[in-house]
A and B are shown apart, each in its own frame.
Chain A
Amino acid sequence: MPPSSPDHPAQPMKPSYLKWLLGQGSRQGLWSLPLFIALAIALGLSLTTQQFTSTGNLFNLITQAMPLIITAIGQMFVILIGGLDLSVGSVISLSTAILALGGPAYVLIPAVFLLAALIGAVNGLVVTRLNVHPIIATLSMQYIVLGVTRILRPVSGGTVPDIVIASVSGTLLGIPLPVFWGIAVLLLSWKLLHGARFGLHLFAIGGGIASGMEKVAHNFGVAERRNILLAYVTCSCFAALAGVFLAGRIVSGDPNVGLLFELDAITAVAIGGTQLSGGVGSLHGTVIGALVMALLANGMNLTNMSPFIQTTVKGAILLLVVGLQSRKKMGL
Chain B
Amino acid sequence: MILADKTWQRLRRIPPSYLVFAALLLTLWVLRPHMMNPNILGIFIRQIVPLGILVLGQLLVMRVRSIDLSGGGVILLINYYISSGLFPGASMMTFVAMAIATGLVIGTFNGVMIAKRRVSAVIVTLAVSIVLVGFVQYLSSGKPPGDVPAMFAALYNTKLLGIPTPVLLWIVLTLLMSLFLARTVFGRAVASVGENLSAAHFSGVAVERTVIVAHILAGLMAALAALVQTASIAVGSVRVGLDLPILAVAATILGGVVFGRGEGGVWGPFFGVLSFALLFILMTTLGVDEPGKLIIQGFIILLAAIFYGVRSAKP
Give the B-binding residues of A (Cβ under 8 A).
5-7, 9, 84, 126, 130-133, 135-137, 139-144, 146-151, 154, 263, 266-267, 270, 275-277, 306-316, 318-319, 322-323, 325-332
Roughly how many angstroms separate A323 CA and B202 CA in the complex, as a whole number? 27
Complex: A22 Cα to B124 Cα, angstroms = 18
Report the Cα distance A307→B127, complex, angstroms: 17
Docked Cα-Cα span, A150 to B127, in Å, equals 29
Complex CA gap A137/B301 in Å reads 8
- Could you say which residues of chain B place their CB within 8 Å of the CB of A150? 290-291, 294
Knowing that A6-B197, A267-B130, A309-B134 touch, tell me 8 more A-B residue pairs with CB under 8 angstroms: A126-B306, A136-B258, A139-B250, A140-B301, A148-B291, A330-B65, A330-B207, A332-B121
Question: What are 25 pairs between A and B in contact, CB < 8 Å?
Answer: A5-B201, A7-B198, A130-B306, A130-B309, A132-B305, A132-B309, A133-B309, A139-B298, A141-B298, A143-B301, A147-B298, A150-B290, A308-B138, A309-B138, A310-B134, A311-B130, A312-B130, A315-B129, A318-B123, A318-B126, A322-B123, A323-B119, A326-B117, A328-B118, A332-B65
Q: Residue of A at shortest CB range from B254?
A: A136
Q: Which residues of B contact A266 (CB under 8 A)?
A: 122-123, 126
- Residues of chain B with a CB closer than 8 A to A306's CB: 138, 141
Within the assembled complex, what's the spacing in Å between the Cα atoms of A12 and B138?
Answer: 40
Query: Pick the contact of B120 from A131, A146, A270 — CB < 8 Å?
Result: A270
Interface residues of B in 209-264 (CB under 8 A from A): 211, 246, 249-250, 253, 258-259
Complex Cα spacing A144 to B293, Å: 9
* Inter-chain contacts of B118 with A (CB < 8 A): 9, 326-330
- Residue of A6, A126, A148, A309 ringed by the most chain B CB atoms within 10 A: A6
Q: Which A residues are in CB contact (< 8 Å) with B294?
A: 143-144, 146-147, 150
Q: Is B185 an interface residue (CB 8 A)?
A: no
B113/A323 in contact, CB under 8 A: yes
Contacts of A325 in B (CB 8 A): 119
From A5, A136, A144, A270, B123 is in contact (CB under 8 Å) with A270
- Report A270 CB to chain B, min CB distance, Å: 5
Given known A133-B258, A319-B131, A322-B127, contact A6–B302 (CB-CB < 8 A): no
Closest 7 CB pairs of A and B: A311-B134, A143-B298, A315-B130, A312-B134, A147-B294, A147-B295, A315-B131
Q: Establish whether residues B122 and A314, one from each chain, have CB atoms under 8 Å apart when the complex forms.
A: no
Determine the chain B residues whose CB is within 8 A of the CB of A137 once the complex forms.
302, 305
Give chain A nearest CB distance to B201 CB in angstroms. Answer: 5
User: What's the least CB distance linking A117 to chain B, in Å?
Assistant: 19
Is the Cβ of A6 less than 8 Å from the Cβ of B298? no
| Contact code string B122-151 (vs A, CB < 8 Å = 1, else 0) | 111011111111110110011000000000
Known contacts A5-B198, A7-B197; is A139 also within 8 Å of B306 by CB?
no
Interface-central residue, B123, B126, B131, B138, by most chain A CB under 10 Å: B123
Q: Is B297 an interface residue (CB 8 A)?
A: yes
B128 touches A315 (CB 8 A): yes
A31 to B312, CA, bound (A): 37
Q: Is B292 an interface residue (CB 8 A)?
A: yes
CB of B66 within 8 A of chain A?
yes
Given contacts A312-B135, A322-B124, contact A126 B141 (CB under 8 A): no
Closest approach, in angstroms, between the C-beta of B190 and any C-beta of chain A? 13
Give chain A nearest CB distance to B195 CB in angstroms.
13
Cα A45 to Cα B201 in complex, Å, equals 49
Complex interface: chain A residues within 8 A of B298 (CB): 139-144, 147
* Contact (Cβ within 8 A) B312 A131: yes
Which residue of A7, A149, A270, A311 has the most chain B CB atoms within 10 A of its CB atom?
A311
Distance A271 CA – B23 CA, assembled complex (angstroms): 44
Residues of B within 8 A of A126 (CB): 302, 306, 309
Report chain B residues within 8 Å CB of A6.
Answer: 197-198, 200-201, 207-208
State how many angstroms separate the Cβ of B12 from the closest Cβ of chain A.
14
Contacts of B200 in A (CB 8 A): 6
Contact of A319 with B198 at beta-carbon distance under 8 Å, contacts A133-B258, A150-B291 already known = no
Q: A-facing mask of B283-315, CB < 8 A → 1, else 0?
A: 000000011111101110110011011101100
Chain A residues near B55: list those with CB within 8 A.
none
Query: How many angstroms between the C-alpha atoms of A139 and B254 in the bound complex?
Result: 13
Q: Is B82 an interface residue (CB 8 A)?
A: no
In whole angstroms, how far apart are the Cα atoms of A5 and B131 in the complex?
32
Contact among A5, A311, A319 for B133, CB-based, below 8 A? A311
Bound together, the chains give a CA A242 to CA B37 distance in angstroms of 49
Cα of A17 to Cα of B136 in the assembled complex, Å = 40
Question: Using Cβ atoms and an 8 Å threshold, which residues of chain B touch A133?
Answer: 258-259, 305, 309
Query: B202 is contacted by which of A5, A151, A154, A311 (Cβ under 8 Å)?
Result: A5
A275: nearest chain-B partner, CB-CB: B120
Of all chain A residues, which has the CB nearest B300? Answer: A140
Cβ–Cβ < 8 Å partners of A267 in chain B? 126-127, 130
